Chains A and B, each alone.
Chain A
Amino acid sequence: DAGVIQSPRHEVTEMGQEVTLRCKPISGHNSLFWYRQTMMRGLELLIYFNNNVPIDDSGMPEDRFSAKMPNASFSTLKIQPSEPRDSAVYFCASSLPRGRDQPQHFGDGTRLSIL
């Protein structure tokens, strides 16, 4: 079975540009999570969706960040305009609908570099 699929795997762009990260969760999973990993702050939860509905976006650092989940099989995380401090690895994860004890399965991440 396919795991969580993220694209692109690497993104290098100049500051001020719009960046869009994409995620396809595992089929049948109804929870989707976006995390950011940096050396300074470790792994941080940015936002998560249950049944395509955003539940908690308190981890989104600024208004420059936005996330959508238009259907059960696709989500995007957008940064506009991007800044060098947004450079990080962004992970998407999904889990089964049976509750909070379900493990989250992570994609391979998108390594984002803002110059």
Chain B
Amino acid sequence: AQKVTQAQTEISVVEKEDVTLDCVYETRDTTYYLFWYKQPPSGELVFLIRRNSFDEQNEISGRYSWNFQKSTSSFNFTITASQVVDSAVYFCALSEASGYSGGGADGLTFGKGTHLIIQP
């Protein structure tokens, strides 16, 4: 069975600090997909990034960066120079490639989320 663990329930930092959100996953599959979503106070879920298990390259998008390490089953997310608008709950999610899906996608297994508070 697949599992996603986000051990940090809540993180509070002062604006402009860097912050890293941890994500550890468990899966028996060799092919799988990892995602990060953001849920701002307004409640919607916003897609941030996906990564497949064969691509361990780190990715940077503006102030956001992601570090994928298969050896430790981790997919961590770093925000550089945090801003108040980054305050949200961030979810890490996993999708396995095994099983019949009828030619489409599979459901996501989400971590419990990390509530990030950026103080001015």
Contact between chains at B113 and A104 (CB < 8 Å): no
> Chain A's interface: helix, strand, loop or mixed, by majority?
strand
Contact between chains at B109 and A99 (CB < 8 Å): no
Contact between chains at A100 and B100 (CB < 8 Å): no
Known: A42-B113, A43-B110, A100-B95. A50 touches B47 (CB 8 A): no
Known: A42-B112, A43-B110, A55-B100. A99 touches B105 (CB 8 A): yes
Interface size on A, residues (CB 8 A): 32
> Chain B's interface: helix, strand, loop or mixed, by majority?
loop
Which of A42, A59, A104, A111 is B105 in contact with, Cβ under 8 Å?
Answer: A104
B108 CB–A CB distance under 8 Å: yes
Q: Chain B's nearest CB lies how many Å from the CB of A94?
A: 9
A78 CB–B CB distance under 8 Å: no
**Closest chain A residue to B36, Cβ basis:** A103
B103 CB–A CB distance under 8 Å: yes
Contact between chains at A50 and B33 (CB < 8 Å): no
**Closest chain A residue to B48, Cβ basis:** A103
Q: Which residues of B contact A (CB under 8 A)?
A: 33, 35, 37, 43-47, 50, 52, 91, 95-97, 100-113
List 11 additional A-B contacts (Cβ < 8 Å) besides A93-B45, A104-B47, A108-B43: A33-B105, A43-B113, A53-B102, A56-B107, A95-B104, A99-B105, A100-B96, A100-B101, A102-B105, A104-B105, A106-B46
5 contacts between A and B (CB under 8 A): A31-B105, A35-B108, A55-B101, A107-B44, A109-B45
